[in-house]
Amino acid sequence: MNSPHQPLADRLRPQKIGEFVGQKHLVGRGKIIATLLRQDKIPSLIFWGPPGSGKTTLAKIIASETKSHFEFYSAVEVGVNEIKKVVQESKGRLEETGQRTILCIDEIHRWNKAQQAYLLPHVEDGTIILIGATTENPSFELIGPLLSRSKVLTLDRLDERDIAEIVTRALKDGQKGLGEYKATINKEALKLLLEASNGDARTVLNALEIATNLTKPKQGKRLITLEKITQALGSKKLLYDKTGEEHYNTISAFIKSLRGSDADAAVYWLARMLEAGEDPEFIARRMVILASEDIGNADPKALPLAVAAFDAVRFVGLPEAALNLAHAATYLATTPKSNASYMALKRAKADVKSTLNEPVPLHLRNPVTDLMKGVGYGKGYKYAHEFPGGFVKQQFLPDKLKGRKYYEPKNIGYERYIKEHLEKLHGK
Ligand code: ADP
């Protein structure tokens, strides 16, 4: 059922294979999808292709043409618990009415190994026909047993001709499309829309719908211009693109909020990234880096906590892993900060680059053979534990860099104790 509140892209979703545009290598006559449908034998499938190329649409068409029950979930939003229910219901349906269930999991690569493995026995015994949709290379992102039980089909980016056909259809269709607005689009506007869409039909239809709404009617007709398409393409709905600029802007705002000890802002940016479908492992990985770059020894617990959050994300998966991310983010935002170890590394690296391979001082070398001992390896090395307080002054840097200071602990958090301890050792 279509509702006027449904986005245009949803309303216009092709219902039959004949309405499906492009992807002729799959849906053309005698090609795999047509053959499978004719035989009414649908194996589990993995659709691999860019966003808005028709993966979900094709899954829905297969379900409808095979009179199967269709369930659709996004791996970003559901975990195994929800799927358990679907599996139970599918079993009941199969036993009672013989109707099969196609379970479509969008962004299936977002599930961790355990979540993916949960599906195996149910795919194996035919309780469900799985159609996984993914934008990522399945060989890297999906577990082997799931791959070997499924057929991987690749969808191509829709080309400009395909997209132009979808646009024309959208403007003409009076029932599901924008036909009632009597809108046309001028040449430059269409060109921009085709270029900016990157082959993503959803982006195109969203932008077209927004642009139509932005265009004032003149004598009952609308002419969509370059200006309106530009405005529509920049609108909020379309802003987040996981590989585009907005992705980098948002992660940058998140990291800066953590560094700036603003837990509220950090959680806000976190929620925005998750809402936009950002990869939770990417977010966790960035927190692991920040724990050392910006917190370091001011709170040595920060790094293990961030690593634990990363592990938890892998272990738990979304949606619950969002809790682990929020926990880590609020901790990292509120704990003392120091970049002293990061700065130490930078200074040391600069010295390594600007000097040649400085020889390791003889007294620090290990005298493994008598010959080595003979030339002075290890001679004069002082074993710290033999001295009061387990410490004795001696030279550890190469001769040329003797006395260089790289690590300058700050008076913050745990690093204050480190600083005091070092000052005591060096008799300051
Ligand atoms: P994906 O699952 O690949 O991200 P969808 O199948 O959800 O993309 O497509 C989003 C919308 O774009 C659909 O609702 C439909 O309106 C349109 N669309 C996508 N692919 C096609 C296609 N091949 N033919 C016609 N419309 C398409």
CB atoms within 10 A of CB 401: 15
CA distance linking residue 187 with residue 144, whole number of Å:
48
Q: In 149-298, which ranges are E strands? A: 150-154, 183-185, 222-224
In the chain, residues under CATH classification 1.20.272.10 are: 245-334
Cβ contact 298:415 at 8 Å: yes
- Under CATH, to which class is 160-233 assigned? mainly alpha
**2: pLDDT confidence band, cut at 50, 70 and 90?**
very low
27 lines ligand 1 (CB under 6 A): no
In the chain, residues under CATH classification 1.10.8.60 are: 160-233
**235: pLDDT confidence band, cut at 50, 70 and 90?**
low
pLDDT at site 242 = 52
Cβ contact 129:42 at 8 Å: yes
pLDDT at site 59 = 92
The pLDDT of 272-280, averaged and rounded, is 80
Q: What are phi and psi of 274, to 5 degrees?
A: -65, -40
In the chain, residues under CATH classification 3.40.50.300 are: 23-154
202 lines ligand 1 (CB under 6 A): yes
pLDDT at site 231 = 85
Query: Which range has the worst mean pLDDT, 84-93, 138-147, 392-401, 418-427?
Result: 138-147
State the DSSP string of 251-293. Answer: HHHHHHHHHTT-HHHHHHHHHHHHHTT--HHHHHHHHHHHIII
In the chain, residues under CATH classification 1.10.3710.10 are: 356-425
Q: For residue 226, report the distance from its CA to the centre of ligand 1, in Å.
A: 24
CA distance linking residue 202 with residue 217, whole number of Å:
24
Q: For residue 244, report the distance from its CA to the centre of ligand 1, in Å.
A: 20
Cβ contact 95:125 at 8 Å: no
- Under CATH, to which class is 23-154 assigned? alpha beta
The pair of structure tokens assigned to 117 is 């493995």
What does the pLDDT look like over 281-337, one tens digit per residue?
889 999 999 999 999 999 999 999 999 999 999 888 878 999 999 999 999 999 999
pLDDT at site 217 = 84
Pocket test for ligand 1, best of 57, 159, 204, 206 (most atoms within 8 A of CB): 57
132 lines ligand 1 (CB under 6 A): no
The pair of structure tokens assigned to 314 is 């892998």
pTM assigned to the model: 0.59
The pLDDT of 219-240, averaged and rounded, is 78
Q: For residue 97, report the distance from its CA to the centre of ligand 1, in Å.
A: 31
For residue 21, the ligand 1 atom closest to its alpha carbon is 24
Q: For residue 255, report the distance from its CA to the centre of ligand 1, in Å.
A: 34
Fold classification of 356-425 (topology level) = post-AAA+ oligomerization domain-like (1.10.3710)
Tell me yes or no: is domain 245-334 CATH 3.40.30.10.
no
CA distance linking residue 229 with residue 183, whole number of Å:
13
133 lines ligand 1 (CB under 6 A): yes
55 lines ligand 1 (CB under 6 A): yes
Let me know if 294 is exposed, middle or buried by CB neighbors in 10 A (0-12, 13-18, 19+): buried
pLDDT at site 136 = 85
